[in-house]
Chains A and B, each alone.
Chain A
Amino acid sequence: MDTGACTIGGLLSRLGINPLEVVVSVNGRIAPEDTLLGSDDLIRIIRIAHGG
């Protein structure tokens, strides 16, 4: 997926993911939703809402 010139929040919106339910790391660093992404970034979306 091309993530250039897009923020984490924009990417999550395109994927239909609520940002309050995930934490995103960019190249191994936890990053806020207004972080601008680069086309070569390694993005990890971690789901945080678990039952129990």
Chain B
Amino acid sequence: MEQKKDGEDRLPRCSLCSRPSVIRLRDPDRHLCADHFCEDLAGRVKKTVYLSAMIAEGDRIAVAFSGGKDSTALLLVLNDLLPSWRDVTLVAITVDEGIAGYRDETVQCAENIAKEWGIEHHVVSFSSLFRRDLDRILEGREELACSICGILRRKALSSAAEGAGATKIATGHNLDDEAQSVLMNALRGDLARFVRDSSSPFGQCFIPRIKPLREISEKEIAVYLMVRGYFPELPECPYTRYALRAGVRAHLSALEFRHPGTMQNLIAGKQRLATTLAPVLSGSPITTCRECGEPCSGTTCQACDLLKKILP
């Protein structure tokens, strides 16, 4: 018998048709071809969005769109699912922190994709909002890069989303990110964050945040983008090496490989714990920052506190 070209006959077959599989998923165990996998993934995102009532009629959703893989997948899936909701619109928002050798390329990539898909796109920069780019802000504080960047990026995103008239902010956090955050909060002993996160009803943002990809693994997102021809092969953020997340990611990923389901179990355990701890760790009531008007738990928000310290 003649062998099929390029060893195609050695590829496992899709459980739903006879085409070559691109991925094997569990629960239930199944092989899926490119088309069935994209359909499967979009269906699971839609289910997550519906079950948590993340999107309502008339919403204008600001998608935090860095141009990296997670936010590209998020924008692509939401854009495809738009006809599922009445009168819902998307606006993509890219935060340019000002990181030499990294962000220029991803911002360009984001601009190209938004233009190709015809999605309204806004770029907001640290230098215009905070008078300095991240590289300058971090001089001598590189080891704090991720926490400083995270605080300022959230503020930049909130400000841009508000300016764009958004009613929701969607971020590309995936299953791996969510599990890593649980473990990081545990390692830091930060019980308050166990209960409150940026998407909880008590999140420190006027505009509710949603995470439609929270049940999709990082690997699934990569395969999804590759088969659709949008996987961005971009440089890595130079500050990643300072992040606790980098170490947590590697360990957790190894555990997930050896013990499948670890990440989902960790998140489910955290949710059960949060329900029990919420009344005990309710913390200070939410007030309004006297500097910028954003919600906060003290007199000023984290971002204004930080800006006062680093930009006297």
Report A's interface with B, CB cutoff 8 A: 18-21, 23, 26-38, 41, 46, 48-52
Q: Are A52 and B249 in contact (CB under 8 A)?
A: no
Chain A residues, CB < 8 A from B237: 50-52
Query: Chain B CB within 10 Å — which of A21, A48, A52 has the most?
Result: A52
Q: Known contacts being A23-B222, A32-B21, is A49 close to B10, with CB within 8 Å?
A: no
Q: Which one of A32, A36, A38, A52 lies within 8 Å of B66 (CB-CB)?
A: A52
Q: Known contacts being A18-B254, A52-B106, A52-B236, is A26 close to B11, with CB within 8 Å?
A: yes
A26 to B75, CA, bound (A): 28
Chain B residues, CB < 8 A from A18: 250, 253-254, 257
CB-contacts of B202-246 with A (<8 A): 217-219, 222-223, 226-227, 231, 233-234, 236-237, 239-240, 243, 245-246
A27 to B8, CA, bound (A): 9
Is B60 engaged at the interface, CB distance under 8 Å to the other chain? no
A48 to B222, CA, bound (A): 6
Chain B nearest CB: distance from A10 CB in Å? 13
Number of B residues, CB within 8 Å of A:
42
Contacts A/B (CB < 8 Å), 9 sampled = A18-B250, A20-B217, A20-B257, A23-B226, A29-B6, A32-B23, A48-B69, A51-B243, A52-B237
Q: Closest A-chain residue to B102, C-beta based?
A: A52
Q: Are B11 and A31 in contact (CB under 8 A)?
A: yes
Chain B nearest CB: distance from A18 CB in Å? 5
A33 to B12, CA, bound (A): 10
Q: Are A20 and B253 in contact (CB under 8 A)?
A: yes
Chain A nearest CB: distance from B40 CB in Å? 14
Chain B nearest CB: distance from A41 CB in Å? 6
CB-contacts of B99-113 with A (<8 A): 99, 102, 106
Report B's interface with A, CB cutoff 8 A: 6-8, 10-12, 20-24, 31, 34, 66, 68-69, 99, 102, 106, 217-219, 222-223, 226-227, 231, 233-234, 236-237, 239-240, 243, 245-246, 249-250, 253-254, 256-257
Q: Known contacts being A50-B236, A51-B240, A52-B236, is A32 close to B22, with CB within 8 Å?
A: yes
A17 to B257, CA, bound (A): 11
Chain B residues, CB < 8 A from A48: 69, 218-219, 222
Chain A residues, CB < 8 A from B23: 30, 32
Q: Are B24 and A33 in contact (CB under 8 A)?
A: yes
Chain B residues, CB < 8 A from A23: 219, 222-223, 226
Chain A nearest CB: distance from B303 CB in Å? 20
